[in-house]
Amino acid sequence: MDRIDRSILTALQDNARISNVDLANQVGLSPSACLRRVAHLENSGVIDGYHAKLDAAKMGHDVLVLLHITLKGQSAEMMAEFEAAVAKIPQVLACFLIAGESDYILRVAARDVNDFGRVHSTYLSALPHVLRMESNFVLREVMNRTMPPNHL
């Protein structure tokens, strides 16, 4: 991966809907060369997909909660059962297996605090093998990137 590939990736992170002609102009390539490079980045798996970034608040989900979860154990079976169960909860936007004091961090969306209480009591408290849960309410998103531009 060279400087031009990194420039392409940075531009696509800023605007994945940019036209190939505009992208080519921005990174200093001909449109056909730019298209070949983007295709190579897609085929090699560096570009994993294109997604619409949705505004949760405008969709009626004003509360975002980061949930730290510790399991009772760390057997492969326990972790697989937990992960399968958490994947079925639509309000869980992301689940990360982590190293540290907790085992997982979940990103959970809710309409309001009462809705989060309902999600917690109905779904989250029923997750298998959970020893401890700690909820952290997000006050505001400062920034959110998939990859730091200067490291591409």
Q: What is the CATH number of the domain that holds 22?
A: 1.10.10.10
Please say if the pLDDT value at position 88 is more than 90. yes
Range of the domain at 32: 3-43
Percent of the chain clearing pLDDT 90 (strictly above):
84
Domain at 118, CATH number: 3.30.70.920
For 131, phi and psi rounded to 5 degrees?
Answer: -90, -45
- Does any domain span residue 90? yes
Query: Are 70 and 17 found together in one domain?
Result: no
Query: Are 29 and 68 found together in one domain?
Result: no
Query: Are 39 and 73 found together in one domain?
Result: no
Query: Are 63 and 127 found together in one domain?
Result: yes
Please say if the pLDDT value at position 151 is more than 80. no
Please say if the pLDDT value at position 71 is more than 70. yes
- Does any domain span residue 50? no
The single-letter code of the amino acid at 62 is D
The domain total for the chain is 2
Query: Are 71 and 19 found together in one domain?
Result: no
Query: Are 61 and 131 found together in one domain?
Result: yes
* Across 82-102, average pLDDT: 97
CA distances from 70 to 12, 13, 73, 74 (A): 36, 33, 8, 9
* Across 18-43, average pLDDT: 97
- The answer to whether the predicted template modeling score (pTM) of the entire model surpasses 0.85 is no
- Does any domain span residue 49? no
